Amino acid sequence: MTDILLVPFLFLVKTILVLAVWVVIAEVLINWLFIANIFNTNNRFLIMLTDTLERLTNAMLSPIRRNLPCVVGSLDLSPIILILALTFLENVVIRIIMKLA
């Protein structure tokens, strides 16, 4: 009986983890494009999009940034570590789903 509810819930968790990875990737890419002056810094839509992505990722990235020093100059490795952790969790959820199904 619990498998009936647990498997769809785990699929939902897996989907949320995949979306979180893509949000982190999008936020990093948009920040790089702003730094390289490819995007216009006066574009309201892009500023709003960047702000939204930053708010979504800051909650996940700030604990990593507090505990991880900058290695080379201002190179921020926290998105890479977050993506690796989210991918690890996704693989754990997939293994649990495979055991239950």
User: Which has the higher per-residue pLDDT, 42 or 79?
Assistant: 79
The pLDDT, as a whole number, for residue 39 is 80
Total residues belonging to the chain: 101
User: Which has the higher per-residue pLDDT, 3 or 23?
Assistant: 23
CA–CA separation, 9 and 4 (whole Å):
9
Residue type, 94: I
The pLDDT, as a whole number, for residue 84 is 96
CA–CA separation, 28 and 11 (whole Å):
26
pLDDT in tens, 23-73: 999 999 998 888 888 887 788 888 898 899 999 999 999 999 888 876 666
